[in-house]
Structure 1
Amino acid sequence: MRIAWLGKKSPFCGNVSYGLAVTEALKERGHGISFIHFDTPERFDRAEPDQESSGNLEPEVALPYLMKSQMYTIPSPRASRELRESLERFQPDLVHASLTLSPLDFRLPELCQQLGVPLVATFHPPFDAGLRNITAGGQQLTYQLYASSLAKFDRVVVFSELQAELLIRLGVAKNTLAVIPNGVDPNIWR
């Protein structure tokens, strides 16, 4: 299976670790991965196929950005077009978006629908149902902003039942959500 993975490679955070670990595991299982992320395009200018990956194309695409931080990225005006062109060129069987990345997150459902490609997301924003402070208010706002877009994804992975319950209350269909708790690879952390 060919998977276009939209994720982060920098600046370092849990989302970066998640994306790198999952895509490496997918490659080990024989899947072709096209990693799309925000970076300086000159560093990753339209990568060529990796000849040593048993025939799987593994291009990496760097989308241009105006500002990038651990929390969010503001894409350059041409990033949306480059994302579309990359997906058209790769012709993936599946697009996976490791959210939240940028305002492009909200365009993905329409884009993937136009291309006829299933869209899966892992929704990473922090969540703490017990907090009653400004941080919790920011978390709630993020969930409210994303809910209508997440409702258009084919599947959305969240890490807890509480997250799923909140998204259901915000309009995401229960059968769209998959609860997969964060795990630890015991082969790495022993």
Structure 2
Amino acid sequence: MVHVSERGRGQLVLVAAVLVAVALAPVVLAYLQLGYHDDVRAASATGDPTGDTVRVLDRAVTREAASVPRTYAWADRQQAVTAFRDGLEPVRSRLQNATVERGTVTEITYNATAARAWQSANCPGGPGRQFGGCRTDRGVVVQDRVDRTHVLAVGFDVTTTTERGETRVTVVVRALGA
């Protein structure tokens, strides 16, 4: 039986660690080369402009939806939808114009069909429901809650065009708290 001192054991562990590190070096280099991208602009922080656009729309819809019930009765729901869309317009405009100089064009339109489909799937009917009925108006789903107009969701088509191609998505953005 060979007896190894504490100091000798420490040196043995150190030598083993160095050997493992040397053996793993080619693997690490190969991994790093697989992640190489020669187009620096394409690998920038905004790698998903469509996803970024949807996230900004999500926040804007929630923010704008919060003011609607305080202002509009259910009978005034068309005016509520007009005011809501007018409130979103600066955000839509900024998103559509913000990245043009960088070679990205974004088009954002309302999608009433997607909003109606969301309404059909998410607004309960019948006598047991907690709130009143839902309506879809120009891509915006609203609901009667104690005779106040509440914005529930908005349907959008987002088209992003870059030098690499075009991405089209249809999303329904739900207002948080609705």
Q: TM-score, normalised by structure 2?
A: 0.25
More helix by percentage:
2
Q: TM-score, normalised by structure 1?
A: 0.24
Using CA pairs below 8 Å that are at least 6 residues apart, which structure has the higher relative contact order? 2
